[in-house]
Amino acid sequence: MFASHSSARRLPSCRKAGAGLVASIVLAALQMPGHAQDVGSDRWQFELTPYLWAAGMDGTVRVNNRPEAGLAVEQSFSDIFKILEFALMGEFEARKGRWGLTADGVYFKVNDEGAVSGPLGFVTLGANANLTQQMYSLAGSYRLVEGGTPVDLFGGLRYTSVKWDIDIAASVPVVADRRLVRNNDWIDPFIGVRVQHALDDRWSLVGYADVGGFGVGSDLALQAMAGVRYAFRPDIVGKFGYRYISADYDRHDFQYDMANAGFYLAVGFRW
């Protein structure tokens, strides 16, 4: 399902920018005037946001630490959409006063197949591959600044799972079948910051960034998001923006150095 190239397109500038963005937003938040720090609502507030994230993939996958086994992956969302079997994404946030709890989940499964034949069809090799990727995060938050430009600090954990299931059939001309299954998962701690700014009663801007991994799971994990929101009603909010997530994981003879990035479209339901 993946397009193989001689080398993967690297994204070092994006990752450095993501880490720097976290630090700069935190410093800016700490320098904001104290009078904006109003006490939040004492009642519980909830928001459920199902969303569509049109993300592509760009990076490298390597198994068994063999250089020749490395696979460069460069897939746009349109490429992935053609072989997409199932996807489910959503976010839930609960808040009371300055404290909050946020959960986010991304699940998708793709399937691709293909076959090649040798001279005169003497050797035929076919493969059917399934890739399932999951990312789930849970974080606590504290509202550092209230008012028209609220600032929230986050700390939490993100679970990532990547599973390949490949069936290979070869005819030489005797038929031979082989199945390859590889499942790797890990947990990354992360810290982040979110800044929101109200333009008027309906329109607002939002920016979010986090950095994690720290060698616990990934060596480095980054996320950055920027978007705009429109309140159709106080309890229904439309959301649109761009989201980037990357992880550089290298453990147990498995390397997954991958970035997922693309536009998202969502609707939030508040109560």
Q: Which of 260, 231, 198, 262 is nearest to 15 (CA)?
A: 260
pLDDT (average), residues 207-224: 97
- 129 versus 46: the higher-pLDDT residue is 46
Which pLDDT does position 172 carry in this prediction? 61
3-state secondary structure of 235: coil
Measured CA distances, 83 to 54, 59, 86, 144, 240 (Å): 14, 19, 9, 43, 24
pLDDT (average), residues 132-150: 95
3-state secondary structure of 8: coil
- The answer to whether residues 154 and 210 touch, using CB atoms and an 8 Å cutoff, is yes
- 4 versus 94: the higher-pLDDT residue is 94
* Mean pLDDT for all residues in the chain: 82
Which pLDDT does position 37 carry in this prediction? 40
pLDDT (average), residues 173-197: 84
Residue with tokens 């076919």: 126
pLDDT (average), residues 5-20: 45
For the CA atoms of 236, 89, 160, 64, what is the dihedral angle to 10 degrees? -150
User: Considering only 8-12, 65-69, 113-117, which range has the smallest mean pLDDT?
Assistant: 8-12
Q: Per-residue confidence at 122, pLDDT binned at 50, 70, 90?
A: low
Which pLDDT does position 6 carry in this prediction? 37
The tens digit of pLDDT for each residue in 68-117 reads 556 777 888 988 888 888 999 999 999 999 999 999 999 999 887 655 55
CATH of 12-108+133-159+186-270, one of 2.60.120, 2.40.160, 3.40.50, 2.60.40: 2.40.160
Does residue 8 have a pLDDT over 80? Answer: no
**Alpha-carbon gap, residue 245 to 87, rounded angstroms:** 17
3-state secondary structure of 69: helix
Which pLDDT does position 3 carry in this prediction? 39
pLDDT (average), residues 119-136: 72
The set of residues, in sequence order, having a beta carbon less than 8 Å from that of 121 and lying 6+ positions away, is: none
Which pLDDT does position 73 carry in this prediction? 79
Q: Per-residue confidence at 212, pLDDT binned at 50, 70, 90?
A: very high
Which pLDDT does position 118 carry in this prediction? 55
- The answer to whether residues 248 and 214 touch, using CB atoms and an 8 Å cutoff, is no
- The two three-digit tokens of residue 123, written as one number: 């050797």
Indicate the domain borders of the chain.
12-108+133-159+186-270
Does residue 144 have a pLDDT over 80? Answer: yes
**Alpha-carbon gap, residue 192 to 244, rounded angstroms:** 14
- 85 versus 174: the higher-pLDDT residue is 85
Does residue 57 have a pLDDT over 70? Answer: yes
CB atoms within 10 A of CB 199: 12
Which pLDDT does position 2 carry in this prediction? 40
- 81 versus 30: the higher-pLDDT residue is 81
- The two three-digit tokens of residue 6, written as one number: 């001689």
- 79 versus 32: the higher-pLDDT residue is 79
Does residue 152 have a pLDDT over 90? Answer: yes
pLDDT (average), residues 220-226: 97
pLDDT (average), residues 224-229: 98
